[in-house]
Amino acid sequence: MAGYAGYSKSNNALSAEADGRYPLTQAVRVLAKEAKITQAQARIILEKRGTNEWHHTSSRYNCTEYYDVNSVLEEIQDKYNATKGYNGTKG
């Protein structure tokens, strides 16, 4: 979905945000809230994991890296379940 939404973000950037991928500052806030961890912890996790996605932002078409919060939350949940011995079935 090429194009720009006004002067702030590309349409692709808006689509990424609708799918749970955000610039670092916003990703830190979302991850901290959803995972119930501090923003400092969230920043460390996101920076360690890194990103392979960027989108154009601002009227100057800056390239901004985006972080996948949903996949990080899934990894955290998987690790939590593994430590609790949860196998996905009721028993």
Q: Quick one: pLDDT at residue 43?
A: 97
- Strand, helix or coil for residue 18: helix
In DSSP terms, 23 is beta-bridged to 66
pTM over cut 0.75: no
Tens digit of each residue's pLDDT (9 = 90 or more) over 43-72: 999 999 988 787 767 666 678 888 999 999
Q: What residue spans define the domains of the chain?
A: 10-84
Tens digit of each residue's pLDDT (9 = 90 or more) over 3-59: 655 556 777 778 788 889 999 999 999 999 999 999 999 999 999 998 878 776 766
Q: Residue 79 to residues 22, 28, 47, 68, 83: CA-CA distances in angstroms?
A: 23, 19, 18, 17, 6
